[in-house]
Amino acid sequence: MNMIRTAMLLAFMTALFMGVGYLIGGGGGMMIAFLIAAGMNLFSYWNADKMVLRMHHAVEVDERNAPEYFGIVRDLAASAGLPMPKVYLIDNPQPNAFATGRNPQNAAVAATTGLLQRLSYEEVAAVMAHELAHVQNRDTLTMTITATLAGAISMLGNFAFFFGGNRDNNNPLGIIGILVAMIVAPLAAALVQMAISRTREYSADRRGAEICGNPLWLASALDKIARNAERIHNPDAERNPATAHLFIINPLSGERMDNLFSTHPNTENRIAALEAMSQAGAGRQTRHEQQPWGAPAAERPAEPKAEAPKANPWGRNPTGPKGPWS
């Protein structure tokens, strides 16, 4: 079903792109728009993940320099039946995370240093389970292609504003077509993009809670991330707002309103859904219960005393070199 929905969405966005081209330049403009859309889709399919990671200055890590973070992702991927994705770290104090990649075999997950420093072990696991749910549902491909085409349609709208008036002989609807290309089409593309993003966040919350084993861990993590995102600036996200919908919480403003123009669902609604899931399917769990992935919390090394030096976010010395967040 996800593949069918992806194909339908891709067809709709491509048709919208071609329609804007028709409004600007008639049949010739439509064919040019089709060729551009096809090229952008191919480029996005093969390269969008690399572009997004570069935009946010993500650095790949492994078991040597990020043992616990890498171990969390490895154990969760095994629990979900997924191939091991590449693991990245972003040097940014705002707690947040995202997933990217064209399919589960070529996926990557990225977390900020702020996420590892401000959240507990269990909360980090819940966030990464959410991102792996996006990978498993193939949301990363759908959302990336949608964002690319939505941006391209907006670009065509700007083109219509500057050059459309000189092509009235090719534009079958005249000034009305130019106005539709400038205003209606980019708005429709943005609404589709945002609606898809919000729907897939709820789905990833549910599946992520199943993967990590405790919905309340993710509920707690969402609350912490949302509160911190409101007050901690994310410069890379501000420079690349088209990638905002990829993050677990809006990195631009911590927007919490569930409306047509928000890229993410209302955080309180997401938390309420997770709490209801916990009560209905798993009873009243606490953040410290044993998880089905990896080692039980009781078997992990004990936290050191407060005065001990901290070499990683959870206060335990890693077995390898110091993590890049230290």
Tell which wins on pLDDT, 221 or 182.
Answer: 221
* DSSP designation for 279: I
Distance CA 156, CA 126 (A): 40
At residue 34, the pLDDT reads: 76
Which residues fall within 8 angstroms of residue 42, CB to CB, at 6 or more apart? none
* Rounded average pLDDT over 175-201: 64
Give per-residue pLDDT as tens, 100-136.
Answer: 998 999 999 999 999 999 999 999 999 999 999 999 9
Annotated binding residue at 288? no
Identify the pLDDT of residue 18: 76
- 274 vs 311 pLDDT, higher one: 274
> Which pLDDT does position 174 carry in this prediction?
59
Average pLDDT over residues 309-320: 42
Looking at the chain, the whole-number percentage of residues with pLDDT higher than 90 is: 39
Q: Give the helix/strand (H/E) hosting 290.
A: none
User: Residue 296: its pLDDT value, please?
Assistant: 43
Contacting residues for 24 by C-beta, under 8 A, at least 6 apart? 156, 159, 160, 163, 164, 167, 170, 171, 177, 178, 181
CA 108 vs CA 74, 142, 175: distances in Å: 12, 15, 45
The answer, yes or no, to whether residue 302 has pLDDT greater than 60, is no
pLDDT: which is higher, 159 or 237? 237
Which pLDDT value is given to residue 95?
A: 96
Question: What mean pLDDT do residues 205-218 have?
Answer: 96
Say what percent of the chain tops pLDDT 70. Answer: 61
Quick one: CA torsion of 47, 53, 55, 60, rounded to 10 degrees?
-130
Confidence category of residue 83, pLDDT binned at 50, 70, 90: very high
For the full predicted model, state whether its pTM sits above 0.85.
Answer: no
Q: Is 264 annotated as a binding residue?
A: no
Q: With 70 as the cut, is the pLDDT of residue 85 above it?
A: yes
Residue-level pLDDT at 183: 65
Of residues 230 and 262, the one with the higher pLDDT is: 230
Could you give the angle at the alpha carbon of 131 between the alpha carbons of 130 and 134, nearest 5°?
A: 95
Higher pLDDT, 25 or 227: 227
Which amino acid type is present at position 263? Answer: T
Taking residues 306-310, report their average pLDDT. Answer: 35
Type of residue numbered 150: A
pLDDT band at 313 (very low <50, low <70, confident <90, very high): low
| Per-range mean pLDDT, top range of 14-23, 163-172, 189-198, 229-238 | 229-238
User: Between residues 191 and 202, which one has the greater pLDDT?
Assistant: 202
- pLDDT tens-digit map of 137-153: 888 877 766 666 666 66
**According to the model, what pLDDT value does residue 162 have?**
59
C-beta separation of 87 from 65 below 8 A: no
Q: What is the pLDDT of residue 75?
A: 96
Catalytic residue annotation = 131
Ligand-binding annotation for 57, yes or no, is no
Least confident span in 141-145, 159-163, 259-263, 303-307:
303-307
The domain ranges of the chain are 2-289
